[in-house]
Amino acid sequence: MSGPAVSAEGLAAAYGDVRVLEQVSFSAEPGQSVCVLGPNGGGKTTLFRVLLGELEPLAGGVEVSGRPAYMAQTERTRLDFPVTALDVAVMGALARGRWWLPPSREERAAARAALERVGLGTEADVRFGELSGGQRQRALLARALVQDAPVLLLDEPLSGVDPASAALIGGVFDELRAEGRALLVASHDVESARSFDLVLCVNRRQVAFGPPAATLHRATLEATYGHELIVLDGQSAVTVQHHGHGH
């Protein structure tokens, strides 16, 4: 594969007349991980919606290799809907077409393999709503794995996840990068961003883009988070988030 797996140039997006994202330009090669860092309402999910083709750019454009896989935030799924972890994983196969037919044996096998990969092999028949928070995130990751996409967009995949699940999800991310897939991971966790290849700081516009060492310094983070940023010891920083779905 030649060229970036995903890129944006001069991207702007709006909901109606309200501009929510401006001046976003970045690119990621196959095998690279990008942390999309910003506060709630900063435009992370909007950027993903544009990359998924759900939202037309107001200006600029994006290039994505193939149809990206998407891992939504758990709270945007319906916990009372009667589906098992296996059913959720199989949904990833819808991207291959044939949506009018029942899942094939191969698709179910791929879903079981994805569940095994995220440590949910024995939970395949448990209802999604009965899984723990970390297990739900892993089931959604399994759905993204089944899609077998060159680019994965993961929206706050570690939000509310227990340390063991976070470690396992991180391990899968490493494997995906090694397979040559590009990962864009939305997060508001400054410390976790240091372990990515690239960091894209957004707060309704692009604040910075580049390797962690070049982007995660005080001035950039203050521009990204404003008064939500608390610097602990001159190096480490945490953010105070006002929870709620943003743009």
- Using CB under 8 A as the criterion, which residues of the chain lie in contact with another protein when the complex forms? 33, 35, 52, 54, 67-72, 76-78, 81-84, 87-88, 91-92, 94-95, 97, 99-100, 102-103, 119, 122-123, 126-128, 130-132, 134-135, 140, 143, 147, 153, 157-158, 162-171, 173-174, 177, 183, 185, 192, 195-197
Token pair, residue 186, equals: 């939305």
Based on CB atoms, which residue is closest to another protein, 11 or 172?
Answer: 172
Distance CA 107, CA 118 (A): 17
Q: How far is the CB of 61 from another protein (least distance, A)?
A: 19
CB of 201 to another protein, least distance (A): 16
- Return the bridge partners of 84, or none: 127
CB of 143 to another protein, least distance (A): 7
Helix, coil or strand: residue 99: coil
Q: Which is nearer to another protein, 23 or 192 (CB)?
A: 192
The per-residue DSSP string of 31-90 comes to: T-EEEEE--TTSSHHHHHHHHHTSS--SEEEEEESSPPEEE--GGGS-TTS--BHHHHHH
Q: Least distance to another protein from the beta carbon of 135, Å?
A: 7
SS3 104: coil
CB of residue 87 to another protein, shortest distance in Å: 7
Q: What six digits make up the tokens of 111? A: 């879903």
Look up residue 79 and give its amino acid: L
Q: Which is nearer to another protein, 108 or 205 (CB)?
A: 108
